[in-house]
Structure 1
Amino acid sequence: MARKLLSAGPAPVVTTLASARTAPTLGLSGAKLEARLRMKRSSAYIETLRKLDAGGHTHDRQTVEAFVAALRDELPDITIDQHPVGIVSQCYLGEPYEVHTLDRLGNIIHHYKRFEPLPPLLARGRVLAASGQYAFVEIYTDKVIAVAESGDVSIVRD
């Protein structure tokens, strides 16, 4: 008669620091991430971003928090490190201002005057944003996504 040497129960799971580092991250990658970023942006997302130039936004924390929530709602299936590092948009405060920038968290960083330099990473979207052809430009580490008023996107690779 054969004798069982191993128990019938499942082996215990041992998590070490090394195995935790190599665990897969949540979110999309590769072609799935590219396809997700190519999807049309919602009118609610575009409208929320437009409200940031309505005035008083630097003192109205609720408006900024609404933008952060809209960004999370718009791209819920991608991780925070896959979100845009910033957004550049045409500034409607009037002369001499041309564009304003938002960081990953949705904070208005600065309204930039014409010929005033932007941080290098965000500068890649300035011409597209200032042209008025797009509602705003999302800046990623490896690409720029111009978003039209209709929500359609155009991806420009570096």
Structure 2
Amino acid sequence: MKTIKFIAACALLAIASASFGHENMAHHGAHAPVAREQKDWGIAGDPAAVRRTIVLRMSDDMRFSPNQIEVQEGDTVRLRADNRGRMLHEIVLGTRAELAQHAQMMQKFPDMEHDEPSMVHVRAGRRGDIVWHFNRPGTFDFACLIPGHFEAGMTGTITVRPRNR
């Protein structure tokens, strides 16, 4: 059992030491293939299917505006992250529990590399997009997981209303 824990700890350290900071990360671009993995809160969307863009403004007061959005089950939405602050911010979609767990990991490994279709990292004065297909009803969350930002309250909710069947 100690050997398994040791191997797991070594793997985490190797990943952390091989990674680099958010500000140096490559992000999904027009030429990068997007991994489509079903999540509790939906799946990466097809940009051609977008019928609505929601602008989420981020600022150094550690808030999103708006911090609550509503979509319909089946909608493919462009979430446009507009960083009006002077520091790096991000938007990560997920459940409250997953975001809290990810935020704890970011505290331990602040330079951890991660790039998925359900997140976008945005430098000061820039914009970035997440294209997401909300194919499951429920209430989900989004947050900035840069160390300290989540803890300061940089969070929001997405309500996915069920489609009338």
Q: Sort the TM-score into its range (normalised by shorter chain).
A: under 0.3
TM-score, normalised to structure 1, is 0.28
Considering fraction of residues, name the structure with more helix.
1
TM-score, normalised to structure 2, is 0.27
Higher relative contact order (CA 8 A, sep 6+): 2
Q: Decide which structure has the larger Cα Rg and report it.
A: 1
Considering fraction of residues, name the structure with more strand.
2
